[in-house]
Copies of this chain bind each other. A is one copy, B any other.
Amino acid sequence: MKNDNKNNKKMVEDITSMEEDFAKWYTDICKKADLVDYSSVKGCMIIRPYGYAIWENIQRIMDTKFKELGHENVYMPMFIPESLLQKEKDHVEGFAPEVAWVTHGGSEPLTEKLCVRPTSETLFCEHYANIIRSYRDLPKLYNQWCSVVRWEKTTRPFLRSREFLWQEGHTMHATAEEAREETVRMLNVYADFHTNELAIPVVKGMKTPSDKFAGAEDTYCIEALMHDGKALQAGTSHYFGDGFAKAFDIQFTDKDNTLRYPHQTSWGTTTRMIGGIIMTHGDDNGLVLPPAVAPIQVVIVPIAQHKEGVLEANRAMYDRLKNNFRVKLDDSDNSPGWKFAEYEMKGVPLRIELGPRDMEAGQCVMVTRHNLEKTIVPLENLEEAVAAKLQEVRDGMYAKALANREKRTYSCTTIDEIKESLKQGDGFVKAMWCGCEECEDKVKELTGVGSRCIPLEEEHLSDVCVCCGKPAKHMVYWGIAY
């Protein structure tokens, strides 16, 4: 046991405590849980097998949902000619300053430079102009999984990197109403995925006009509060009206034989969600993964595995579970204590221990990662107990994250109240707003928190704007953004 403790201690010592330095704790976890590595490509990350397996689980669940709702996957080129990017005025203004430019192919300069896609509205629109003719061609519900590039100055793994992986849905509809429904439908898909699968509570809302996506009429978003009280935009869904359709001359013949412009949406989520998982659920022992996306849901650690029959009994347990769960049996030579620390670092939701004494008693020990609680479980109920424990883990993780958010959400009616509240720690501020950009800027300047979103479910906290005192139009969630 002495040896175990030493090893155990060693690993934990390797990561900075959250309280001491949250940013360093975050990057420590990214490295120590084998999620990412750095390379000589500045600002880009290598997603290692353990990190990529989380992304594959996210992809599988979301992709299934997209397809159930009638979406089809496509693949567009990764390059956008400069002239194509420039077709929609607001869009190019928003993106041109942060794109990477390809200027040479082989040894020859290109006649027109190409940007590496930062997002693909322009490519989808060009394609839609080719293939949409009649109302019968609508709606078009396309999605693609790919990587995109935005030339960020400061980068952090998953949260902000020059290249990241994402999905981008791009849809076209006969009417504005249908397109608005799609925008909200996909926002709800994102919100449900975060709530149910990632155990991350989110606020559904709409960005203020100053914070909209380049070229969008409305940008909806889901906002989550991280453990440190900072806000993370975890997914966005945009309603474009017919602005791009007009810029790209996409028209269809409607049922009444009239030529009309279709209405458009786009929506996206990225590998940033993995950053959200880390910062919502992680602790000083390492990562804590929601069962739905954990590469390993259950790890089996034999106790005194050199003793007769122990490995066999652990293998039998593995065989009972392997078809219904992502389960790993670690029968390596490392000590149990080393293994405990290792799988805690990797955030495996459930650990099962089985040693000679457990075998005699016909039971095993289950330890849930998020609260490190031990339960003795009769072996005969193994399968049901594992399923129940994983549900318990998801629910416990959600409750813990929700409690953190509630503790850190402050309702304020004056600037002074905001300042006073934030002394308790960073968090969400709920306050009324008159709707003008000046007040948005001033709140940020005076208190440090910027507008995150106007929630879909607003509360009435006061009649007047927290900043100027004029009549309030909306309740706004304010926060410090990642």
Cβ of A375 under 8 Å from chain B: no
B78 touches A40 (CB 8 A): no
B127 touches A79 (CB 8 A): no
Cβ of A98 under 8 Å from chain B: yes
Cβ of A24 under 8 Å from chain B: no
A78 touches B163 (CB 8 A): yes
Please name all residues of chain B whose beta carbon is closer than 8 Å to the beta carbon of A116 when the two chains form the complex.
Answer: 78, 102, 116
8 Å CB interface, A61-93 against B: 72-81, 83-84
Closest CB of chain B to A387's CB: distance in Å?
24
Known: A79-B163, A147-B146. A104 touches B114 (CB 8 A): no
Q: How many residues of A contact B (CB 8 A)?
A: 52
Known: A41-B114, A142-B49. A97 touches B106 (CB 8 A): yes
B127 touches A46 (CB 8 A): yes
Cβ of A377 under 8 Å from chain B: no
B49 touches A72 (CB 8 A): yes
A76 touches B39 (CB 8 A): yes
A74 touches B47 (CB 8 A): yes
Known: A39-B126, A99-B106, A106-B99. A77 touches B114 (CB 8 A): no
Cβ of A252 under 8 Å from chain B: no
Please name all residues of chain B whose beta carbon is closer than 8 Å to the beta carbon of A123 when the two chains form the complex.
Answer: 39, 41, 46
Complex Cα distance A39/B130, Å?
9
Complex Cα distance A154/B79, Å?
18
A100 touches B105 (CB 8 A): yes
Please name all residues of chain B whose beta carbon is closer than 8 Å to the beta carbon of A78 when the two chains form the complex.
Answer: 44, 78, 116, 147, 149, 163
Q: Which residue in chain B gives the minimum CB-CB distance to A75?
A: B47
8 Å CB interface, A377-407 against B: none
Other-chain contact of A77, B45, B55, B56 (Cβ < 8 Å): B45
Known: A73-B52, A101-B103, A127-B46. A79 touches B142 (CB 8 A): no
Q: Per-residue CB proximity of A97-141 to B under 8 Å, as 1/0?
A: 111111111110000001010000001001100110000000000
A41 touches B79 (CB 8 A): yes
A103 touches B104 (CB 8 A): yes
A49 touches B73 (CB 8 A): yes
Other-chain contact of A40, B52, B74, B84 (Cβ < 8 Å): B84
Interface on A for B, CB 8 Å cutoff? Answer: 37, 39-41, 44-49, 52-53, 55-56, 72-81, 83-84, 97-107, 114, 116, 123, 126-127, 130-131, 142, 146-147, 149, 151, 162-163, 165
Q: List 27 A-B contacts (CB under 8 A).
A: A37-B127, A37-B130, A40-B81, A40-B83, A41-B77, A41-B84, A41-B114, A41-B123, A46-B76, A46-B123, A46-B127, A52-B72, A52-B73, A52-B75, A53-B72, A55-B75, A75-B165, A78-B149, A78-B163, A99-B105, A100-B102, A101-B104, A102-B103, A105-B151, A106-B151, A116-B116, A146-B147
